[in-house]
Amino acid sequence: MKIETILNAEEITKLAKERFQEERATDHLEGWFLAKEIMRECDERFSGEEDCIRIAKTLVEVAERLPLWISDYHVFAGTQDDAFARSYALINPAFSVDSFSGYCDPVAVFGDIDPIGDITQERIDDLKQYNEKTKFAKALCSAYDIAGDNTSEAIYFIEQVTGHLIPDMRDVLKDGVKGLKERIGVQREAEQNPKKRSYYEAMDISLDAVLVIARRYADLAEEKAAASEGKDKERFRLMADTLRKVPENGAENLYEAIQSFILMWQVMCLEQTPNPYAFSVGNADRIFEPYRKMEDTDRDMAAALLKHLLVFYNVADRSWAISQNLIIGGKSGAGEDMTNPTSYALLDAYYDMNLPQPILSVKLHKNTPKELYESLGRFLFTPGCLTPSFFNDDSVFEILKNRNHVDPADLEDYSVAGCQEPLIMGKDNGNTTNSWLNMAKVLELSLNDGVSTISGKKFGKGREEFGYHTDQEVLENIREIFYNNLQEYTDEMVKCANAASEAISILQVPFLSTLMGGIETGVDVRDTKEQGTKYNGSGCLIHGLSVAADSFIAIDTLLRERPQDAGRMLEALRTNFENDPEMHQYLMKAKKYGNNIGIVDDEAADIASRVSDMVTAEKNYLGNPFRADWASPSTHLLYGYWVGATPDGRKAREQLGYGIDPLYGEAHSGLGFRVMSNMKLPFEKMNGGCASHLGINPGYFQAETFEEKGVEFQKKIMNPLFYNPQKEGVSPFYLYVNVTTPEMLRKVLAEPKKYAPSGVYIMRIHGTFVNFLDLSPDIQEDIIKRLDMESTRL
């Protein structure tokens, strides 16, 4: 029996939409809590086992005992709900910028569950207290202890990276779990190292968890079939039969491949519950196309089935499983376009469903077919519709090959983890959000004797320690002071980040490791002593480029024109310009990045180059370089809150510039000049990624159809930015857009029932898209402000 013989594409789509509405009605998540209770029991039950074996057996126990269910609307069994809590700050309506304190509390998640049913506050508190005393929690707290007060005002942050990886599901879809187990068995028999032999055993045991889940779902599907009639009975019978086949065995059609993929993903997330943020799919069109092709599934049917895959990624009322990226398109290592029928089926599925998750990204290159741009037009020019991120293969290939030393054969398998970080699918542990550096805060401290103008707290070195005594000397030597301080803080940040990585390595992940090269190496993907993946690095997200560049130029201007006002300027910064509005106006009028002004653009390029080199000179726990990532996933707002007034005229606690973009309101000469400024940046050194956003007025596009507007967008936006013949060296490689105006978004907020009758109005927010109506007011205002229409005039 095949799904096509039971339901047509329209019926499958109807079930997907009903399933999504059912999921959106879920306003509580406690599966993760139940899983953590089982894990606690297993800590004692398997206490005599090696850690990797204990963890693997615990995962199987969770699979056996966690409550499972199948909805009346399911076409595929499986859920991510049990791996996530209602935690993610930016889509929490209670979130405010001043409440953000980083990610340093290993038990903060226990504040994200309310008592429900027999889950009492006493049970919650008891489990929290247990987890506070675990080896992992103590190790993570020790990592933050190294930082001291430095994280209190966001000089830098560190993070124990959970997800932010791209597993490679292709082998398990092809050969099944049985095939993976056979490979593990061969490797284990040949292995002489006792530690690795144990780890092979752990991987083998961990894979039993997905077989348990499949069996339990098959039993539930049979129960549903017995209680149903007609097409529903046949649908649940097919589901049960399929679950008895996959993922244990290889898939033989698209329906089976999607079911296998979903269950593997479910268990992978359960292994890291709670909140394994930002696992990403990879090139989904290449993953699923072989199975669509096996039975020549038509585009409508393929899209209908894939709609259920998209719904799977949405967790509860606000789609709490944030930043899970799915990418399509791109080129092969030989330069051939790899767009295929599944690429377009996925686009159809995304457009019709318009869900907050998973993120849609599209790889482009110089020979991307016109048909793809035509298909993208509907996304870009439908109000409230998701818009994909765009990646330039021609540039990313060069960066990964030259900076990350990726083998040419692996380049076509790069995908995007989380927001915008390029990694090789199944082979690259980039620890992409391991550290976060705030250049603007370092600049503030450098100007003020190491003292915060926000709190008055002393953090760093004073001017005397650098050998300078007067205000004018400080300003004349500000770059030297800044870079010396930045190096010192970067060194400290790296120590903390590596300690956080060592803490998370305590929580081994044998199931995930089977999808990340562990079968070849016999080493856990998180191991900090021996490399378990082919490629490894650690990420550093760098904030404040435009603020630093504009500030240095403003200081130079003041010293040239009004050197006697050096002390006056520093005093104005300390008092947030409250007593000196004239100085504020003077600094605001200084030249700004983003207007094609050589002196400022060159300064920004120099900062990006020097700081990238500084970051990549640092070594992680395995001795591999950190990767310079010039992105700021809403942290430009959070970190700006802790930065005092700066010489560019920016006032205290105001946001920083987003990623590599100009500070909002400062690039006022239109998109052409902004692109020219952008072209100066050393993209070849941004090997951890970078982020750029354009707010585009739809009124600039005059074509009549979506398809024609898609091609017009290629010519007016993508070609000048990604494929500009005037750009020397590596071109920009990442962009996201919001095609709307501030006025439109304010209408949506004022009358949501009129402008978003479905309750969903999708907007881009850094590397992900979300329901605009789900966001906290602070983030809604940030999106509106950063549209910055003057900077993108055509």
Compute the average pLDDT of residues 432-438. 96
Q: Any idea what the Cα angle at residue 524 is, between residues 147 and 151, rounded to 5°? A: 10
Count up the domains in the chain and report the number.
Answer: 1
126 contacts: CB under 8 Å, gap ≥ 6: none
pLDDT, position 90: 64
Compute the average pLDDT of residues 107-134. 95
- Among positive and negative, which fits the CA dihedral 638, 643, 645, 649? negative
pLDDT, position 89: 62
For residues 453 and 759, which has the higher predicted lDDT (pLDDT)? 453
Look up the pTM and report it. 0.96
Residue 285 sits at φ, ψ, to 5 deg, of: -65, -35
8 A C-beta contact, residue 640 and residue 629: no
What distance in Å separates the CA atoms of residue 540 and residue 689, rounded to the nearest whole number? Answer: 10
pLDDT, position 727: 92
Least Cα distance to 70 among 240, 274, 267, 254 occurs for 240
Assess if residue 222 is contained within a domain.
no
As given in the structure block, the two tokens for residue 553 are: 């130029």
Compute the average pLDDT of residues 220-232. 98
What distance in Å separates the CA atoms of residue 618 and residue 65, rounded to the nearest whole number? Answer: 44
167 to 89, 103, 422, 687, 688: CA distances (angstroms): 26, 24, 13, 20, 18
| Minimum mean pLDDT range among 340-349, 470-479, 637-646, 774-783 | 774-783
Q: What is the pLDDT of residues 724-736, one digit of tens each?
A: 999 999 999 999 9
As given in the structure block, the two tokens for residue 216 are: 């339990």
Please state the separation of Cα 104 from the chain's center in Å: 18
Boundaries of domain holding 778 = 324-423+695-794
As given in the structure block, the two tokens for residue 148 are: 């001291």
What distance in Å separates the CA atoms of residue 378 and residue 717, rounded to the nearest whole number? Answer: 16
Instruction: Name the one residue in this structure whose structure tokens are 């967790």.
Output: 315
CA atoms within 13 A on the CB side of 770: 28
E strands within 166-285? Answer: 282-283
What distance in Å separates the CA atoms of residue 663 and residue 597, rounded to the nearest whole number? Answer: 15
Residue 740 banded pLDDT, cuts 50, 70, 90: very high
pLDDT, position 91: 65
Q: What is the pLDDT of residues 665-698, one digit of tens each?
A: 899 999 999 999 999 999 999 999 999 999 999 9
For residues 147 and 70, which has the higher predicted lDDT (pLDDT)? 70
Q: Is 384 left (phi over 0), alpha (psi -120 to 50) or beta?
A: left
Strands 535-536, 689-690: pairing kind: unpaired
Is the preceding omega at residue 358 within 30 degrees of 0, hence cis?
yes
The 8-class DSSP code of residue 717 comes to I
pLDDT, position 770: 76
Assess if residue 167 is contained within a domain.
no
On the question of pLDDT at 780 being above 90, the answer is no
The 8-class DSSP code of residue 451 comes to B
Residue 767 banded pLDDT, cuts 50, 70, 90: low
pLDDT, position 760: 83
Assess if residue 456 is contained within a domain.
no
Percent with pLDDT over 70 in the chain: 98
Q: Which helix (H) or strand (E) holds 435?
A: strand 435-438
With b for 16 or more beta-carbon neighbours within 10 A and e for fewer, the 558-572 pattern comes to bbeeeeebbebbbeb
122 contacts: CB under 8 Å, gap ≥ 6: none
Assess if residue 395 is contained within a domain.
yes
Assess if residue 607 is contained within a domain.
no
Assess if residue 377 is contained within a domain.
yes
Helices of type H across 66-134? 121-132
Percent with pLDDT over 90 in the chain: 89
**Number of Cβ atoms within 10 Å of the Cβ of 185:** 13
Helices of type H across 281-427? 284-294, 299-312, 341-353, 370-381, 393-402
Assess if residue 70 is contained within a domain.
no
Question: Longest Cα pair distance anywhere in the chain, in angstroms?
Answer: 87
On the question of pLDDT at 97 being above 80, the answer is no
| Minimum mean pLDDT range among 346-355, 519-528, 765-774 | 765-774
Assess if residue 419 is contained within a domain.
yes
Q: What is the pLDDT of residues 550-603, one digit of tens each?
A: 999 999 999 999 999 999 999 999 999 999 999 999 999 999 999 999 999 999
As given in the structure block, the two tokens for residue 78 are: 């499986």
pLDDT, position 782: 79
8 A C-beta contact, residue 369 and residue 339: yes
Rounded CA Rg of the chain:
26
Helices of type H across 679-718? 706-713
Residue 751 sits at φ, ψ, to 5 deg, of: -135, 70
Instruction: Give the mean pLDDT of the chain.
Output: 95
What distance in Å separates the CA atoms of residue 394 and residue 411, rounded to the nearest whole number? Answer: 11
On the question of pLDDT at 664 being above 90, the answer is no
pLDDT, position 99: 65
72 to 216, 291, 494: CA distances (angstroms): 17, 26, 50
Compute the average pLDDT of residues 736-764. 90
Q: What is the pLDDT of residues 473-530, one digit of tens each?
A: 999 999 999 999 999 999 999 999 999 999 999 999 999 999 999 999 999 999 999 9
Residue length of the chain: 794
Compute the average pLDDT of residues 27-44. 97
